Amino acid sequence: MKIHVIGGGPAGLYFSLLMKQFDRSHEIHVFERNAADNTFGWGVVFSRRTLEILGQGDPAIQQALQRRAMQWENVDIIHRGVKTSVLGNHFAGISRIDLLQVLQGRCRELGVELHFEAEVTDVRSRQDADLVIGSDGVGSRVRSTFPDSFRPSIQECRNRYIWLGSPRLFHGLTLIFRTRDEGMFMAHAYKFQPDCSTFIVECDEGAWRRAGLHELEEPATLAFLQDVFAEDLDGAPLLSNNSPWIQFLLVKNQQWYHENVALLGDACHTAHFSIGSGTKLALEDSLALFEVFREGPPVPEGLRRYQERRKPVVDSLQEAANSSLHWFETAYQKADWEVIPFAWDCMTRSKRVDDTRLRQRDPAFAARYDEYQRGH
């Protein structure tokens, strides 16, 4: 097949290398509007299970990512100044640029043609290929070219968040809740390389405006947040990569393909960062689409099977992510909760980890929760 991939993020690169590895006669071109080393964000987080799934498609990718990944099993919840650690959660953090470079390198090894600083402004002009992949992110031009077919919905969520970094290492997925006169400020922090952590700060619109963050320049914003999280940062600074305050965009599409065009990753769907599933879903989309074409169907039938098999899985994960998103949007209402019930509620917020599963993961934490319940 001749395949044009629009968007050189994780989804597009992974699908390309899987297809090329399976059949070297495929002619695959990836068009990315940014430079090869241009990336946003800091680090991304996967479950260890996701790394195992990626290895099913290409063991070389799994091995390369495992060598670079920072791994842990604890979720630390800091509420009212007290840290509660919950074990049995297996995660891995890796810098986004490392992830992209691993995928780019593997694509080059296999003979995928990578075109950087090559923005595709006319998507229809690429339909001369047998298959066109739209993996061009939340603001997808591919999706917006065929709105009557994809029938997208894009919802702007309530909380404001900013994606930062810090040389302070958080040795676990750390969820921090700090309440001040302006309101509650929450941080999602985790290490992704030996000398740096991701540090995402989130708050509701009211707290954001009462703190004057809508009017502050970047240095003043960082100074304010360093003061909010001073105890957690332990003297380390917050780092910005021209990071703006934004609102999460919840993307859904009723249809995932149009003629010979298919959507992957954030162009197709988004999942809130509080369950760390955006990149995971994108890579698993790519694996699912590859597995369909490995069966040998013609393109129209392959795209039909892709949506039929993959969409219910993503719908379920989006539902869990939306439960988590809503929990963080209303967390300020629980600011006066005691530490143990707050941590339990936080861990079960997405409904994918229920009471039974949480008890299996960390019996000692479950015993602390039961003891609290007996006393109240």
Contact 46, 102 (CB under 8 A): no
Query: Whose structure tokens read 């995660």?
Result: 91
For residue 354, give the DSSP letter: -
E strand or H helix that includes residue 98: helix 96-110
Residue 83 forms beta bridges with which residues? 78
What is the CA angle 338-344-345, rounded to 5? 85
Task: Report the Cα–Cα distance between both ends of the chain, in Å, rounded.
Answer: 65
User: Domains of the chain (ranges plus CATH)?
Assistant: 2-47+95-156+249-328 (3.50.50.60)
**Residues in a beta bridge with 85:** 76
- Report the C-alpha gap between 220 and 298 in whole angstroms: 56
Between CA 31 and CA 180 the distance in angstroms is 46
Tally of CB atoms within 10 A around 1: 14
The tens-digit pLDDT sequence of the chain (376 residues) is 999 999 999 999 999 999 999 999 999 999 999 998 876 668 988 887 788 888 888 898 888 988 889 999 999 999 999 999 999 998 889 999 999 999 999 999 999 999 999 999 999 999 999 999 999 999 999 999 999 999 999 999 999 999 999 999 999 999 999 999 999 999 999 999 999 999 999 999 999 999 999 999 999 999 999 999 999 999 999 999 889 999 999 999 999 999 999 999 999 999 999 987 788 899 999 999 999 999 999 999 999 999 999 999 999 999 999 999 999 999 999 999 999 999 999 999 998 899 999 999 999 999 999 999 999 8
Q: How far apart are CA 224 and CA 59, in angstroms?
A: 44
Provide the H-helix boundaries in 4-89: 10-22, 48-57, 59-68
Classify residue 272 as exposed, middle or buried by CB count within 10 Å of its CB (0-12, 13-18, 19+). Answer: buried
pTM of the model: 0.94
